[in-house]
Amino acid sequence: MPDTIYARPDQYDLEHEGDDSDVRFHVELVRRYRPGRVLELGCGSGRVTLPLAAAAAEHNSSIVGIDTDERMLEQARKKAEALDPGARSRLSLETGDLRTWRPGAPFDLVLVPCSTLSHLLSLDDQLAAWRTAWDNLAPGGRFVVDLTMPDLAAYADSLQTPPRILLQMDIDAEAPEGGDRLIRYRTVRYLPHLQRARIHFLYDAFSASEAADRYVSDFESHVYFPREVELLFRLTGFEVEERWGDYRFRPLRAASRQLIVAGRKPAR
């Protein structure tokens, strides 16, 4: 089994230390839509889910987060103990696959933050995720996906003959307490015939109490393009309402780093 960052929830959280612009975006999104029930697909360690639960009391909503990885869910449950009782009462964390999970009771908003849908490599799996969101939504409910715009400049070197693979250090994170530090390097190779990025992450983890640890985490990531995402929404019955290019709700542009799309299930 590959040694992925998801097998190390503490280091996953350290990897995202101080990286909360998307969290603020999703909290604001819930405030704008004022849904009664919110579902987060692929909630992981609760990095987005728990702040949503903390804000839920403002509009009397409830939050359900699902994930397939029990280690990440356990981390989320442990962190949820720090929430006040009112927020904890509005939060449910459950084991489930975003391609198939259907509990029965409908939601008003379904979210998929942090490019989680990029882990779905086949069109069948992507359609299954969009259909799961549709089936879990009440009429008039919204499905919002947060993806990364294709970084064609980063892919250019890997498209040369022979391909060039550049090593980049893209994260150097330190815990606010305890002295832990995580440095991440990565290489990316784009496979245009598969519309896929082959990513190798190399981690150096340092701790004040333990020996340094180095490991490799390999990913295959589907590269979404804007019109493709809109087609997935249309094909599964959604009306595309919004396309944003960043976490400040600005429109999608050529230089945008994010690809955030909101689709609405018709009320009829």
Residue 262, judged by CB atoms within 10 A of its CB (0-12, 13-18, 19+), counts as: buried
If one compares 157 and 220, the residue with the highest pLDDT of the two is 220
Q: Determine the pLDDT at residue 89.
A: 94
The arithmetic mean of pLDDT across residues 232-236, rounded, is 98
pLDDT category of residue 2 using cuts at 50, 70 and 90:
low
Name 36's bridge partners.
none
210 pLDDT above the threshold of 90: no
Q: Determine the pLDDT at residue 57.
A: 78
Parallel/antiparallel/unpaired status of strands 37-41 and 62-67 = parallel
Please tell me the least confidently modeled range out of 42-56, 203-217, 235-249.
203-217
Q: Determine the pLDDT at residue 3.
A: 66
Q: Is the pTM of this model over 0.95?
A: no
Q: Determine the pLDDT at residue 1.
A: 38
For residue range 44-79, list pLDDT tens digits in order. 999 999 999 999 878 789 999 999 999 999 999 999
Q: Which has the closest alpha carbon to 99: 146, 67, 76? A: 67
For residue range 135-181, list pLDDT tens digits in order. 999 999 999 999 999 998 888 888 888 878 888 999 999 998 778 99
Burial pattern 153-192, b for ≥16 Cβ within 10 A else e, equals eebeebeeeeeeeeeeeebebebeeeebbbbbebebbbee
Q: Determine the pLDDT at residue 154.
A: 83
Please tell me the least confidently modeled range out of 47-61, 62-76, 119-133, 231-245.
47-61
